[in-house]
Amino acid sequence: MSQFDNLESYPPFFRPNHGFDSNEHSCKTSVHLDSDSDCLPVIDFLCMNPENLSEACRDWGMFRLINHGVPLNLLNQLHDHAKKLFSLSFESKQDLFSSSSPLSYFWGTPALTPSGDALQKVSSTQDHNWLEGLNVSLTQISQFKYEDPLLESFRSLLEEYGRQQCRVATTLFSTMAEDLKLCSTKFKSYLSPPTGTLRVYRYFRCMDSDRRWGIDVHTDSSVISILHQDEVQGLQVFKDDQWLDVKSIPNTLIVNLGDMAQAMSDDKYLSAKHRVKVNREKERISIGYFVFPVEDAVIECSKYKPFTYADFRTEVQKDLKTVGAKIGLQKFKVTQE
């Protein structure tokens, strides 16, 4: 496929002579991703125990999951459907997903579409992410039907995938709770399956891949995030003061812990710092599952002031508006006298 095939499917901002220039940095090569090595610890879902899971959670905050039980056919169909939908024209995608739909379309930021002043700011600073995606409300998806056959088939696949990911996340957290010795009350409130959401990402090809990002450096706000990525690499994790490439291996899932897991563990676990590179020649599809605590459940530990996820989210939104970046857990740290 040519670099500029199917560009009508890209938001106008990311097309030639706007988002990137086909001649700009044409002599550069993309940042090398080492496809021959894999850095992550591996957890076998069928042989998982508090000891081996604890080591990965404490040292890395991210690990590869094998024998997870999610059908390979389901994963393949999801990615095939996502490619077909994302290949539609940008205008069609904007019209396709209504405000009442459980699937909402976004581009340029990880989970929402900039508009108005926000878009003007993004356009002027080029501080944007080279992606588009669908945010999927799993609580609404079973109650909705699409007339379009492709969309309805995709909706059905997402619903089943959400059930599979809920099973995986609940089992993982049960093992974490055993390791952390959480009481039953905390176990039930610290992970809330109804909060589970999916995000389907498409990362654009980018000629200026050395200076642009699919998603810039961040930690997730979730308890647990579970990612399935296609064969195109790009995910990187920060470990021991260096960025390491996360290899794309078929039929495996990438699990990373979010800020809520770090707080619940009293900083015993790590909220994995990660980012996504873009590629000059290839697009990339990935599907993320994110699950959170009960909204008003109070997270209590020695390192942080008591707070709820609602408190945390409010602070994050405030920081994004005032300083333009997520500060996160640092806002809740207990001050050392």
64, 280, 284, 313: the active-site residue: 284
| The two structure tokens encoding residue 180 | 């952390």
Three-state SS at 132: strand
Buried b (16+ CB within 10 A) or exposed e, 127-162: ebbbbbbbbbbbeebeeeebeeeebeebbbbbbebb
- CA pair distance 111, 135, nearest whole angstrom: 7
Q: Which of 331, 323, 271 is nearest to 307 (CA)?
A: 331
The verdict on whether 275 is a catalytic residue reads no
Q: How many CA atoms within 13 Å lie on the side-chain side of 20?
A: 26
- Residue 139 CB partners (closer than 8 Å, separation 6+): 194
Buried b (16+ CB within 10 A) or exposed e, 200-217: bbbbbbbbbbeebbbbee
* Residue 40 · residue 246 · CB < 8 Å: yes
* Residue 16 · residue 26 · CB < 8 Å: no
- Residues taking part in catalysis: 284
